[in-house]
Structure 1
Amino acid sequence: MKKYILILLSFSSSFIFSQKIESHRLTKKEISERELENVTDFPIYRAFEFQDKGGVYELVLSENQKTISKKDTLNTKIQAICVINDHGGFLEKWRINDLLEDNLPKETNIWFWTKYCSTKDIDGDGFIDPIIVYGTRTEDGYIRRVKVITVYKNKKYAIRAVECDLDDCRSFKKDQNWNMLPEKIKTHVDQLLAKMRKEQDVLLKNG
């Protein structure tokens, strides 16, 4: 009996540790094969597949790609949609929708900042913690708004920043539920913000 229990425990441990945490960007061919065009309203800009203890997920980043001229393609709306394959179809887990604002200075483009997006298991609990980063630009080409959205256990935790030369029109706000995130994730996002400040012309602060 003891031997049977030991074998069972060994098998259970092996199964737990065999759960893969993987993530990779999908090619255009893979996007087409998975028919991911059916889950979004706009052309797909990037798509990722990731696997964790919850299953295999597809993350689609799409932009409506409003063409202004032959050289420039600007977006007025974006969508980020995460789905899981469910009996041959897709079951949506969460989505993010956003669009240009009418406030002055006028915004003319909204886009995913994929350089700073990630699909990693940040806190080591066996589940991926996606981070979605996107921004807007004004008609003069300056960054106006920046959003950093962390998805933890299918709930969204956002940081919203408005960039401006004047102190009174600049802002930086974290959602009220921000402190509910694990410390490892909050630290990771703080380091990401520091990297963005260093690499890009953004202040990401109040006043």
Structure 2
Amino acid sequence: MKKIFSLLFLIHSLCGYSQKTESFALTKEEINQRELNEISDFPIYKAIEFSDKSGVYDLVFTENQKTISKKDTLNTKIQAICVMNDHGGFLEKWRINDLLEDYIPKETTIWFWTKYCSTKDLDGDGYVDPVIVYGSKTEYGEIRRVKIITLYKNKKYAIRAVECDLDHCRSFKKDQNWNTLPQKIKSYVDQLTEKLRKEQNLLLKDG
């Protein structure tokens, strides 16, 4: 009986270990060593390596840094690219692209909000569910757009918000497929949305 119990405990431990996920930021030296600059059109702002049951991945956040000054770095385009190392090369798993939009007041920069991005296993299935957050600002320094994109099984689920003082130009929309996400992931993003409201003084709601 003890042997059976020990065997079951060992199997349980091994299964638990196999579902462990890890994530850490890469240094500039590590980014160069991995030659990650080759996969991006723009300079890398930040890179994260994460691993789960399916393998080891590199996620790079890139911004085109169109205007660089002592006070500000302004971007007109951004890319987030997730790759898996594949026999010395890179196998792209997914990519996010965005750019300035034609609003009034004029948008002047778009950037990744990496303090709110995450690479965690949100539903406990052993696979990382990345959450990518980015925003845009107007020429007056006010936040205009906010996007929260969740990657679940390499498929994108987005929340798109437009901030505005007037009701008719404000919006907060979830993709039609949003409710197909596991409840744990939806709850995490709901909490993240509330955190953005409080910490950044955002409305994030429909008119």
TM-score range, shorter chain: over 0.9
Q: Deviations over 1:53-107 (max 9, x none)?
A: 0100000000000125343210000000000011111100000000000121110
Normalization by structure 1: what TM-score?
0.93
1:140 aligned onto 2:148: no
1:16 aligned onto 2:8: no
Aligned AA for 1:33?
A: Q
Q: List runs of 5+ in structure 1 lacking aligned partners.
A: none
Aligned AA for 1:16?
A: C
Distance 2:17 2:184 in 1: 23
Aligned AA for 2:193?
A: L
Q: 1:176 to 1:105 in 2, by over 3 A?
A: same
Q: Secondary structure at the match of 2:114?
A: coil
Q: How does 1:12-161 map to 2 (within 5 A)?
A: 13-19=12-18, 20-161=20-161
Structure 2 equivalent of residue 190 of structure 1: 190
Distance 1:14 1:164 in 2: 51
**Percent identity between the two aligned chains:** 74
1:115 to partner: Cα distance: 1.1
Aligned AA for 1:164?
A: C
1:167 to partner: Cα distance: 0.4
Distance 1:97 1:13 in 2: 41
Distance 2:96 2:196 in 1: 21
Aligned AA for 1:17?
A: G
Distance 1:68 1:132 in 2: 24
Q: Secondary structure at the match of 1:141?
A: coil
Aligned AA for 1:72?
A: D
Distance 1:124 1:205 in 2: 29
Q: List runs of 5+ in structure 2 lacking aligned partners.
A: none
1:12 to partner: Cα distance: 5.3
Q: Secondary structure at the match of 2:190?
A: helix
Distance 1:115 1:102 in 2: 26
Distance 1:123 1:57 in 2: 19
Distance 1:10 1:89 in 2: 39
Aligned AA for 2:64?
A: N
